[in-house]
Amino acid sequence: MWAEQEFEAKLRTRLATLPDPLGSELLGDYLSARRFVVDEIAGHIGSVEPDITDHSASHLADVMSRANSLVDDDYFSPLEMYLLCVSILFHDVGNLHGRADHQKKIADIYNACRHQHARFNAERQAVLTIAGAHTGSTKDGSKDTLQEVHPFPFKGLTVRGQELAAVLRLADELAEGPHRTSAYFLNHGGYDAKSIIFHRYASAAEYSIDGARIALSFTINMKCAEGGPEIAEGLSLQDFLSFCYKRIAKVDAERRYCRHYSPLLTKLRETSAWFSFWVDGRQLDTDLEKLVLSDLMIPGENTKEIVKHNPRYDPALLAERFKAECDGNGL
């Protein structure tokens, strides 16, 4: 059951400012698209790709929530808000036909929804381009997908396609957390071994937008094994931390990338990450200060890896430290 999101309520209000019948027509078009994606597509992606993290309607709601946190009121026009919301609905539908290059598989599903009616031609061009830029590569193999997004004509006006695509891309990147996996399924061997690390990451991570920064927090639940602390059987703490650090760096890279294409996102000046470590319900004292990746660049310094920001976060050192603590406490 879908509950109207705050971002959708704002869309409804903004569309009401348009002259009739345009405003009511667009609202009806949005609601029919949402009904189609939620009922016909999103709930069935898991049956095709059971081992990827959640891409159901709850993920769409989460992306809208993140977009709502990123977008200042009245920054986008009503038409731009409309295209952004429709693009959010369709951005992951291609997963129904397989995860690989899913951003290139949106068109057939969009056409099934809109029945290829001519009045949706401009919308289709905008949505396929905006949604298609949230991942993947350009025609020449570059990862700079936003460069290919340009302003679009829509209902007699021009919309800022590149900014809409940047907001969707970052909102999708930030839609992460325990809600994207099943703790029970994860703890009872429900996922493919290759996917375990992604689900463990989702279960440990919480993302939020806090003023000028993207704040990440990680709750690391470990168990003591003979070879050292583990997150799960066959997944060492050291390997998991290395994976987390790569994801933190990716979030920060997406923040920097998307803000290049959207003045709206220049307010986001840093990415921070904080870790807490637990064994058998007991929190371990690490005395680790928060990691901060900011836009402050000191002349002569190059971009640093996570461990170079703070050597105390070295996965091997932390694993050895926790192994000694587990051994010392008989855990």
Q: Which phi and psi angles does 218 have, rounded to 5°?
A: -130, 125
pLDDT confidence of residue 306 = 85
Render the burial of 299-315: b for 16+ CB within 10 Å, e for the rest.
Answer: eeeeeeebbebeeebbb
Going along the chain from its start, the domains and CATH numbers come out as 6-174 (1.10.3210), 178-328 (no CATH)
Q: How far apart are CA 157 and CA 304, in angstroms?
A: 44
Mean pLDDT by 10 residues, the chain (331 residues): 94 96 98 97 92 93 97 96 98 93 94 96 97 92 94 96 98 96 89 94 96 96 89 94 96 96 96 94 89 76 73 92 76 51
Residue type at position 188: H
What pTM was computed for the model? 0.93
pLDDT given at position 301: 55
Which of helix, strand or coil describes residue 277?
strand
